[in-house]
Structure 1
Amino acid sequence: MNKKEDNEKGGVKGWIDGDETAHYMLRRISALRSTLLVPPLHRVPLRLGNVIEIFGPSPSAKTQILIQVAINCVLPKEWNGVRYGGFDHSVLFVDLDCRFDISRFSQMLTHRIMEGTAIGDCDKTLYDLCMQRFLYARCSNSFEFLQTLKSLHYRLKREKDHGVSVQLLLIDSIGAFHWVDRASMFLSLKEHNRKKLFLQSVSEAVVQDIKKLLQVHPMLVIATKSVIFGNTYSTASEEVNGCSRNVTRSPQHTQYREYMPSVWQSFVTHRILLRRSDDQPVISNSENSSLYVLEWLLPRIGLPDKIIVKDNGVFVNS
């Protein structure tokens, strides 16, 4: 059998036919490399596959920023002649704090929609569409979180088969189970001979599962993390079961305790510090508002942004 006949029988020709076309490959690479400007995190262009960590004390409006980013994602670019500037994609919100307020999400979404209508009413069709694009999962411990990550591939594939593309994975908050897992290292778990839960192994499993997920479903990952500010800890670096416990200083010389294992820290591509501002805005017209400082640490940007959180959303204070 000559080479031509071998190709026609499914050899090299079969391999080529089973591969993607050049047109599809260019479209896929272009989508992966395209930059995203995500208000109020628009200072740095982001790409699918980036992992952003937003950390700060509790409370510091970290969840509010996640909600704002989620709304920008589910809103369309344009709807009935009105430009909303959204991503026109779905978002997956993984709630590890178990304190997510869906009424707050609905309130902020309704206000964004009403801003675009001439009569100031909420477009019910657009509202329902955006709510359908908001996917939610809640986990109460690390085991449930790992199970959720392992099942996300099938959930996202099912959504994709129905024409729904998820481009944003939000995790609130990544360190929610840290102290419980740490305590479990010193407890004897005799029930059903379950293995002890070690911080390093859990974090490694989380990072590996997210990496595998991003290979098949490219997404932008944004995770929040609560930290403790203050100077009550030693500046010495410790390693306990592979978990880094450094006390780190921000550019303002504010100390905060880094408790997440190094495998997670090295996985993060962008890091943002969020803290309450000393200069609080004047409350007017019975509208609640708070002022926060948002600072990029990775990559380092010298000029921080001031963020105002109001009842109707999160805004950059220009």
Structure 2
Amino acid sequence: MLIPSRHAVLAGMIALTLVSTASCSSSNADSRTDGLLDVTVGQLPIVDSVPFTFAVDKGFFREEGLNATPDVTNAGAMITNLVNGSDQFALGETAIVVQAFDKGLPVRIIGGVTKSTDIPAEDTGVVLVAKNSPVKTPADLNGKTVAVGALEGSGELSLRAALDKAGADSAGVKFLEMPLSDMTDALSKGRVDAISTISPFDTAALAEGATRLMSPGAEAVPGGMQLTVATSATFEKEHPEAVEGFVRALNKGIEYAATHPDEVRAALPKISPIPAELLPAMRLPEFDATDPHAALTLWTGLMEQYTFVSGPVDIDELMS
């Protein structure tokens, strides 16, 4: 069973975006610093965003004539800022960007940052149950409550697909939205039957004896796009060369992240409050700068299957 608040939140985000857009020009006036085009980039405070930090620190954006500044925010504000022109780019959760496009907002996906692995032990996402829990298999979650980071987000999507693939019935599972930082306490106190979390937030729960039940991304959506690079249709039309340059620069940051895992962990505290003692054991996502079309098609297909969108998603228009 799904708690219906997610649709209300998305509807509110869209209404705010439309109002904001109506009060703004088609995009913010061009601003330059030392001859470089100023661009602001919305990003989530998660490890998947670290390639952007590398691209800034190593001068990859400057090489493309861009002065890129981060805007660490949440998923809803990210879409609003992208469409009203206060941010020119965003590194956002795939499901949120696709849902915004499905609702008619002028967002475009121009690349990908991370994909889900096909190796369960290396998957950043994991479903845990408490020590001595009666839940021993995915099918045992039927009728139970599972905490997720966001309703109708990428985490819930991959979990639904993994449950059904494993012989459970995702329609019979109750999903409860909860901050990742609160999940271990909720599990230990029995407020939920399982938690769908990510590394390194699973560390505390495992230390208390929690047991891994499944790794949804690796088991059901290997190769699915996790973090998306987006811009607005307006900015893409008005600044096509800047968009191309942004993608080239970010891809260099992604490629660097893929081959320097220790530096990824060291850079994470710049954008996330994750405790330093959790970093060494943290599992990292699969950084991938290759053509995201197949990875995006996989995700949108699942979104259509589980009605996270209103109908078929036009991938060509979304990536135009």
Q: Under a length normalisation based on structure 2, what TM-score does the superposition of the two structures give?
A: 0.29
Q: Which has the higher helix share?
A: 2
Higher Cα Rg, which structure: 1
Q: Under a length normalisation based on structure 1, what TM-score does the superposition of the two structures give?
A: 0.29
Q: Which has the higher strand share?
A: 1
